[in-house]
Structure 1
Amino acid sequence: MHIKRFPAVLAALLCLATLSACEDGKKPAPAGSAAAPASSASPAAGTSPAVPAGLAEAQRYVQKYVPCEDMSTDPRDRRLPRTGLTTVGKWSVTERGVCSDRTEGAELIFYMASDMKEFQAGYKKHVQEKRAGDENYGLFSRVFVGKNFAVTPTGPKAALALSRSDLRILTCHPSFWAPKGYKQEKALVDYCVLSDFVHAEDGTGSPNFETPTDPAGGTGGPEKPGQPAQGSLGLPSAAGMAELKKLVHPHTVDCTTMSTASEDVAVESIDYRPAVSGDPRTLGITQRAVCGNTGGAQRAHDLNWLDVVGDMTTLQRRAKAAQQEDLKDGRLSATTSRLLVGENIAVETNDESVRFGLYQLQFLALECRPGFKAPAGYRLERAKVEGCVLTNYEG
C-alpha cells in the first residue's frame, strides 16, 4: 500500500481535450485482430496521456479507465455501428478501430485524426445536418476527444468512466450547457464545447448537482412525518477533542491509537481517505485527530478522523464539493469516508459499522446526491449548504 502524507504537491496535468458522439446499439462478437493486450487497470488520479503515436497507444490509454478488448481495424467488423460517425479519409481520420467492453456488453469506436480541428469541424457539420431531421441530435454526445484521437463508447458506464480521464466530450448542440461542478471549455471550432459532463436523456449519465435535494423527501409536498420544519431533532456536541473522544470511544470508534500530529492527521491510503482533505484550518476545523494505525512499518488500517468544528458551514461546503467530485462517475467511492456531523463536531469514516454506531449517537451523514430521498422512519434534516441534507439513511 502506498501511503500519502499531505499536503501533497499538485502534479501538473497535461490536459487532453476530448470529443464524443453517440453511436447507438450493441453489436455481435468481433471479427479482427487485437491491437493491444486487454487491461482493466484502475486509473491513477491525474494521469496525463501523451499524444498517442497510433491506435494501439490510444487503446492503452483508454484501458486505464475502461476495459477495451479485441481491437480490430477491419471495416467489416460486425461491432461497428451500421451508420458510423465517420470513416477513414474523412475529417482527417487516418485510422479507425473498435474494441469491446465485455463488462458492459458495449463497444468503443476509435478515430485517429491528423488534424483535430478538422475532425471537430466535421462533427459540427454532421450534427447540423442531422438536426434537420432530429433537433435533439448531438445533445447527448458521446464523442470523447483528445489531442489526436477520439473515442465513442456505446455504453453509459464506459462513458462515465472515461469522463474521469483527460478526454473531453465534444458537444455541438446549441441547447447544451454543462451544469455547475463540471468543466466546460472552448472547442477548436465555434459553437461547440468540450466538457466532462455525460449528458443522458434516461438519467444514466453524470449526476446534475443543480437538481435540488428536498429535505421534505419530495418536491412541493409536505414535510416528512416527525421531521422538523426548521432546526434539528437534536445533534451531539462536545467542548473539545477530549470530550469528542469520550463520546465515541471505545464502543463506536476505536481510538486506542489516536494522534493529533499534523503528519498523522494528513495520512491517506488506497483504502482510507477522509471526506475532505487539506489544511484543517481551511476546512472550518479547529482540531483534527486520526484514530487507527496510520502505517509506518505496517499497512494503514482502521482509520477514522475526528473533527472539532469551528465553522460547520465551511466544512459542509467543502465536503459537498468533494462528494460531488467523487459522484461524477455515478457512485461514491467505497474507500472515501462519509462525513457524519453533530452540532460542532464531526467524524469521517468509510466503515459501515462505525457509521451505524454514530447514528445511534444521533450523528447524521451529509448527503448531497441529486434527488436523494429517505423513507419514513429515517431522519432527514436541512444541512448548512444548499443541495444537501443530513440523514441516517444510506440507501
Structure 2
Amino acid sequence: MRLTKTLAAGAVALSALVTLTGCGGGAGNGGAGKGSSADSGLPKASTMAELQKFVVGTGAQCDEFGPSNELRMLEESRDPAWSIKERGVCNERLVLLLIDDMAKFQAAAAKAKTSVPRILIGQNFALTNLGGDGQLLMQNGLTHLSCGREDRDSLPSGFTAKDGLVKSCFTTDYLPD
C-alpha cells in the first residue's frame, strides 16, 4: 500500500514537471512571448503582425502601423549587411525591424559610420526612435543595444551590461535619455 502511494505521488510529480516544462514562449511557440533561458529570455516575433501585437501589449502606442518614409533606419533596412528582413513604423515614429541574423545586425551597428539611434532588441527584432516608450518597452523584456566603448565605460552603477553577439557591442538594462 505504501509503495502504491509513493509511486502514485511520483507519477503526479513527474506529470506536473512535464506539463510545466512544456509551457512558455520560445522559438517553438511562434509568438512574441518570453523565451527560455536557452534563447536568452528576450521576446521573439516571427512576423510584423506579431511584433506589432507585442508592442501594443506593452502599452506603447502603435495604432497606426505600416510602411513609412520615416527616415530612421530606412537606408539601413535596404542594406543587406544589416540583415533586416522587414521594416514597419508605428504612428510615424516607432520603427519596428524584423532581423534575419542578429549577429550581422549588431556587426553592422558596430561598423556604422553615422550615429546609430537608441535601439532596443528582442531575439530577432529591434525597435528604434522610441520616443517616450523606451522604458515601457524595456519593462516588457527588451534590452538596450549599444556598440560604443564609451557607453559601457559610462554605465551608471547598479545597471548591468552583457556582451553582445559581436565584440564591440553589449546589451544593458540602462536606457539613456
Distance 1:161 1:82 in 2: 20
Instruction: Determine helix, strand or coil for the equivalent of 2:127.
Output: strand
* Alpha-carbon distance change, 147 to 85 in structure 1, aligned in 2, over 3 angstroms: farther
Distance 1:117 1:57 in 2: 22
* Alpha-carbon distance change, 153 to 161 in structure 1, aligned in 2, over 3 angstroms: farther
Matched, 1:69 2:63: yes
Matched, 1:97 2:74: no
Instruction: Determine helix, strand or coil for the equivalent of 2:74.
Output: coil
Amino acid at match of 2:119: V
Conservation of the 8 A alpha-carbon contact between 1:13 and 1:48: yes
Matched, 1:166 2:141: yes
* Identity rate, percent: 27
Residue 51 of structure 1 deviates from its aligned partner by 2.5
Task: Provide the residue aligned with 2:163 in structure 1.
Answer: 186
Distance 2:72 2:120 in 1: 20
* Alpha-carbon distance change, 174 to 81 in structure 1, aligned in 2, over 3 angstroms: same
Amino acid at match of 2:62: C
Return the TM-score normalized by structure 1: 0.32
* Alpha-carbon distance change, 83 to 187 in structure 1, aligned in 2, over 3 angstroms: closer
Conservation of the 8 A alpha-carbon contact between 1:88 and 1:96: no
Conservation of the 8 A alpha-carbon contact between 1:98 and 1:110: yes
CA deviations on 1:168-223 (whole Å, 9 max, x unpaired) are 111011111332222311110111110121112xxxxxxxxxxxxxxxxxxxxxxx
Distance 1:122 1:149 in 2: 14
Distance 2:25 2:83 in 1: 23
Distance 2:72 2:126 in 1: 18
CA RMSD of aligned residues (A): 2.6
Distance 1:63 1:122 in 2: 28
Residue 82 of structure 1 deviates from its aligned partner by 6.5
CA deviations on 1:117-169 (whole Å, 9 max, x unpaired) are 0111111111xx22xxxxxx45xx511111111110341x2112112121111
Conservation of the 8 A alpha-carbon contact between 1:115 and 1:148: yes
* Alpha-carbon distance change, 161 to 153 in structure 1, aligned in 2, over 3 angstroms: farther
Amino acid at match of 1:121: A
| Rg comparison, structure with higher value | 1
Alignment of 1:1-395 (within 5 A): 48=34, 51-65=44-58, 66-73=60-67, 77-78=68-69, 80-81=70-71, 84=74, 86-90=76-80, 91-100=82-91, 107-126=93-112, 129-130=113-114, 137-138=115-116, 141-155=117-131, 157-177=132-152, 178-200=155-177
* Alpha-carbon distance change, 142 to 83 in structure 1, aligned in 2, over 3 angstroms: closer
Give ranges in structure 2 of 5+ residues lacking alignment.
1-22, 27-32, 36-42
Distance 1:56 1:82 in 2: 20
Off by >4 Å, runs of 4+ in structure 1: 12-15
Conservation of the 8 A alpha-carbon contact between 1:88 and 1:95: no
Amino acid at match of 2:76: T
Conservation of the 8 A alpha-carbon contact between 1:117 and 1:188: yes
Instruction: Determine helix, strand or coil for the equivalent of 2:135.
Output: helix
Residue 85 of structure 1 deviates from its aligned partner by 5.9
Conservation of the 8 A alpha-carbon contact between 2:85 and 2:97: yes
